[in-house]
Homo-oligomer: A and B are copies of this chain.
Amino acid sequence: MPRAIVDTSYSTSPLDGEPMEQTEAERLASVLKALADANRLRLISLIQSSPAGEACVCELTEPLGLSQPTISHHLRILTDAGLLERDKRGVWAYFRLVPEALTIIAGSITPPKQRHRRAAPAPRSR
């Protein structure tokens, strides 16, 4: 099974404090690349808004107007990134969101609240 690339060890936002290290930036960039595609965003949204919170490839081809292999390709990228989980039941695989993963990514790009509003000039000493 491919390694999920969402780092669930993030406890705080990488934007909140010290400059981000190269390794951390590369890991976050990989997950954001998996998300940064209109078809994959729509797949996540369709799965998320489906009544059971899960969907199989067979239910996703028609709303997106894409072929089954193309849908499967996008689902694999999202699953490899740790954003979806896959459950094989009978002939079909069902996909559901890993809500923690999206919450972690959202937290990673949330800036600390208004920390850097343009400050008034410091008063001069004497």
Contact = CB atoms under 8 A, between A and B. Distances in A.
Interface of A: 14-15, 17-20, 22, 25-26, 28-29, 32-33, 35-42, 44-46, 48-49, 52-54, 63, 96-97, 99, 102-103, 105-107, 109-119
Contact of A45 (B19, B26, B38, B117): B19
B38 A29 contact: yes
A35 B37 CA distance: 12
> Number of copies of this chain in the oligomer?
2
B33 A36 contact: yes
A25 B45 contact: yes
Contacts of A15: 44-45, 48-49, 102
A94 to B, nearest CB: 11
A25 B48 contact: no
Nearest to A29: B38
Contacts of A111: 48, 97, 99, 102-103
Contacts of A99: 111, 113-114, 116
B35 A20 contact: no
Contacts of A19: 42, 45-46, 49, 63
Contacts of A97: 111, 116
